[in-house]
Structure 1
Amino acid sequence: MLDPDRLPPVRPVFSVVTWKEICHLLANLPMTIIGFLYTVFMISVGAGLSVTVVGLPLLACGLWGARQLGRVERWRARVLLGTRVEEPTPLPGSRRAGGFFGWLWASLKDPVAWRTTLYGLIRLPWGVLTFTVVLTGLFVLWPVLPYVVRGLTLVDRAMVRALLSPSDELERRIAELETDRGVVVDAAAADLRRIERDLHDGAQARLVALAMGLGLAKEKLLEDPDAAAAMVDEAHGEVKLALQELRDLARGIHPAVLTDRGLDAALSSVASRCTVPVRVRVDLPARPAEAIEGIAYFTVSELLQNVSKHAQARSATVEVWRSGPRLMLRVSDDGRGGARMDRGSGMAGLAERLGAVDGVFVVDSPEGGGTTVTAELPWRDRRATPAGGA
């Protein structure tokens, strides 16, 4: 895969990349002047008034503003230099109930804001230098200007990565987990809405009709026993249908066969409901944790539904095995292929759900060549059930 930060080689011809780099270097002067003046004013006012009640809150607000300047610089580097730097995580005090003093303390010790402040201080001489060299080079150094510009922007890229990136790998991981948590919450909310809709439109409506039918049968019991018996018989059929709908709904929440017998039996049950023959191979030394087992089950279940609805396949295969610290899944079919990972599709939703638990989701689906979906989940050992527990 092409690295987004990998730049094309420098050529004497002025390419689009070179002109973007020139624009970035020329914009350095006004941007560094703004950043330097803001930083000096923020530090002098905040430090000068720190002995008063308003000094530290003003300094905290100034550091928040420095964060915003850092965001603008990251955007400028991304658009003009092609350098992508992850956004730092929000301040902890802005997410948790810590009150005013919690926010104040989190702001004053914010490493991202302080590194952005340092960035604003040291950039002024660099901004003057790059502006002068590039502006002069446009008239004097034209043949070699692309090489000069590339060398100067390499320094800019290094500064952005060193001072404006998240503090460390842990912070980047926290940012990823923040996004993943949102995916999990959205998925859980969607599942709850689906269950509510199924109950309202299915079993609940059927039970309401059943109650009304039994009420009418009760009224006719003495005056027309035959009609009442027919209504009771119809109600008996409705009870069976309602029970079946409730079983299907319970299976959609968490199937009993998965809890009792594990993935092999549960996936075989899912495969038996597929519209094409499915071969299931499960090779696991033990059962994984309940949560991982459930995610694996529902992933395969949705993929087999896709096979039934869209693949136009003659057969499919499900394989599950363990590879080191990962639980591996593979669902393949010999259908028409062409499955896409566009955002909003079922495949994209599955990829997001697996990503939320540090999983991987890969689709290989050439047109006319069938579809193979490979998924990885972290292996977590199943907790032992205490004696006498459920």
Structure 2
Amino acid sequence: MATQYGNYGPGYGRPAAEGVGERPHRVPTALREPFSGRHWRELLYVLVGFPVSVVLFVLTVTMLSTGVGLTLTFLGIPVLAAGLAMCRGFGALERARARALLGLEISDPEPLRVRNRSRGGRGGAMAWMGAVLRSGTSWRHALFALVQFPWAVFSFSVTLTVWLLGWTMLTYPLWFWVFPLYGGQGGLQLYGDAQHQVYLDNPFEITVTALVGLLVTMATPWIVRALTTVDRLLVHGLLGPSRLASRVVELESDRGVVVDTAAADLRRIERDLHDGAQARLVALAMDLGLAKEKLREDPRAAAEMVDSAHGEVKTALQELRDLARGIHPAVLTDRGLDAALSSVASRCTVPVRVEVDLVDRPTPAIEGIAYFTVSELLQNVSKHSRARSASVDVWRAEDRLMLQVTDDGVGGADASAGSGLAGLAGRLDAVDGILVVDSPAGGPTTVTAELPWRESRG
């Protein structure tokens, strides 16, 4: 998908205020992490996940095995559908738990597509059961219940063992007195057989035990984080929307962008025709009508009016040429990007070096998007950058068409404003393109656009 970046806006030329108001921590990260809210949320996720996974696994195995066993009778279908629906319900719970405790932003999967009775389906309970059984999402939720259970047991055991071991050893100096007072031994027994017993009972051993506990305690957050990374992958891969569904949503969004862009272009063309060439042609028709009336009475005045109308015709033709160039320049169709971009660069207010290194031509659609992308970027250079020179480079990198516009202006473009370049990013997004802006304070500014290469068959 294309990344939307802000245009050169009011903040152009000023450095971004990053890190304002943030104070450096005096305590090292390794010492702070065992007490951080993120660690405790991840720890809670692992601990709660164990009983949840046990319940989910038992119910899933029971329902699915019963449903499969009863498939020879009609009762197997509703039992199997109910089991899959239960898995979907637990999946919603797991997504909510992952959002709250792991900070995992994940979209809900696609809903069930129940056939309507009016469209030829059976409707009612049969339609719902058929939708559940046909849904790949339902089976992915069931697979999550089966896969997540052994992992939850493993992560729960490791997490609880490491966490208790670390804090027990770290706090040993506070409670080691329990052993000589109530246990009749010097301290925590490290080793023992019929002849020898080793106790952690002198100050040196107690101190070493506490230091080892400190190391284990500091390592515990990273161990828990590594374990929950697998949980994130499981939730994202099995409980979120499928790649196909995500791609369909993305294509629908891109289609909406293309439709909106086309509608905006049509409105612009209609406005330019109505306010420009059409108005001039109406005035021209009126002037020629007056000249026709004065032709016999005052031929000289009529000639002056015809001469003025001739000038209006030239102006109207120039406006129509400019409008046609804005729709799709003829030089782009006839001679390709090199000549078309050189023509655009010649109209820029700063000197522009153009270098196009293409052996073949892409499809007209990609070529047109590349042309208008560079045109808009050069307009930004003329209006906002205060640059003395700029350059345009176009080349092909495997199956991608690369465009890069660089200027030596003041830089500091705000990439989060999302104003002028948002439409450009949306146009690139519609064809799986990418837009990247690099504009540090003081310049230079480099905007790189990446488009898919599609070979022209013409």
TM-score category, normalised to shorter length: 0.7 to 0.9
User: Alignment partner for residue 275 of structure 2, among 201, 211, 217?
Assistant: 201
Residue matched to 1:4: none
User: Alignment partner for residue 115 of structure 1, among 140, 149, 152?
Assistant: 140
User: Alignment partner for residue 239 of structure 2, among 133, 156, 164?
Assistant: 164
Matched residue type, 2:394: V
Change (3 A) 1:360 1:217: same
1:266 and 2:340 are equivalent in the alignment: yes
Hey, what's the Cα distance between the residues in 1 that align with 2:297 and 2:48?
94
Matched residue type, 1:113: S
Contact preservation (8 Å) 1:320, 1:328: yes
Hey, what's the Cα distance between the residues in 1 that align with 2:229 and 2:256?
36
Q: Deviation per CA, 1:125-173: give whole Å up to 9, x if none.
A: 9999999xx99xx9999779968965874564354134213445x5544
Q: Compare 237-246 and 154-163 and name the one that shifted more.
A: 154-163
Deviation, 1:382, is 1.2
What does 1:57-206 correspond to in 2, within 5 Å?
70=91, 73-74=94-95, 76-85=97-106, 88=109, 108-116=133-141, 153=228, 156-168=231-243, 170-206=244-280
Q: Give SS of 1:373's match.
A: strand
Q: Deviation per CA, 1:179-219: give whole Å up to 9, x if none.
A: 33333233222222222222222222222333333334444
Contact preservation (8 Å) 2:33, 2:39: no
Q: Deviation per CA, 1:33-89: give whole Å up to 9, x if none.
A: 9999x999x99xx99xx9xxxxx99x9999899768746643542343033445545
Residue matched to 2:36: 15
Q: Deviation per CA, 1:298-352: give whole Å up to 9, x if none.
A: 1111111111111111111111122222222111111111223335322333233
Deviation, 1:234, is 2.6
Change (3 A) 1:317 1:32: same
**Normalised by the size of structure 1, how large is the TM-score?**
0.73
Hey, what's the Cα distance between the residues in 2 that align with 1:25 and 1:216?
89
Q: Give SS of 1:266's match.
A: helix
Hey, what's the Cα distance between the residues in 1 that align with 2:255 and 2:86?
27
Residue matched to 2:309: 235
Deviation, 1:221, is 3.9
Residue matched to 2:381: 307
Matched residue type, 2:99: R
Deviation, 1:227, is 3.9
Matched residue type, 1:186: D
Contact preservation (8 Å) 1:86, 1:172: no
Q: Compare 171-180 and 367-376 and name the one that shifted more.
A: 171-180
What 5-or-longer segments of structure 2 have no aligned partner? 1-28, 72-76, 169-218
Contact preservation (8 Å) 1:10, 1:147: no
User: Alignment partner for residue 341 of structure 1, among 415, 420, 431?
Assistant: 415
What 5-or-longer segments of structure 1 have no aligned partner? 1-7, 51-55, 385-390
Change (3 A) 1:373 1:226: same
Q: Give SS of 1:342's match.
A: coil
Hey, what's the Cα distance between the residues in 2 that align with 1:28 and 1:22?
10
Hey, what's the Cα distance between the residues in 2 that align with 1:9 and 1:365?
35
Contact preservation (8 Å) 1:10, 1:150: no
Give the number of the structure whose alpha-carbon radius of gyration is greater. 2
Matched residue type, 1:115: R
Contact preservation (8 Å) 1:78, 1:84: yes
Matched residue type, 1:275: T
Hey, what's the Cα distance between the residues in 1 that align with 2:311 and 2:303?
13
Deviation, 1:266, is 0.7
Residue matched to 1:5: none
Residue matched to 1:388: none
Q: Give SS of 1:383's match.
A: coil
Change (3 A) 1:22 1:186: farther
Q: Give SS of 1:280's match.
A: strand
Contact preservation (8 Å) 1:272, 1:278: yes
Residue matched to 1:360: 434
Hey, what's the Cα distance between the residues in 2 that align with 1:173 and 1:299?
25
RCO greater where, 1 or 2, for CA within 8 Å and sep 6 or more?
A: 2
Contact preservation (8 Å) 1:279, 1:317: yes
Q: Give SS of 2:35's match.
A: coil
Hey, what's the Cα distance between the residues in 2 that align with 1:233 and 1:289?
45
Deviation, 1:178, is 3.4
Change (3 A) 1:331 1:127: closer
Change (3 A) 1:344 1:30: farther
Residue matched to 1:215: 289
Change (3 A) 1:123 1:283: closer
* Aligned alpha-carbon RMSD (Å): 4.9
Matched residue type, 1:193: R
Residue matched to 2:452: 378
Matched residue type, 1:253: I
Hey, what's the Cα distance between the residues in 2 that align with 1:315 and 1:265?
19
**Normalised by the size of structure 2, how large is the TM-score?**
0.63
User: Alignment partner for residue 367 of structure 2, among 248, 268, 293?
Assistant: 293
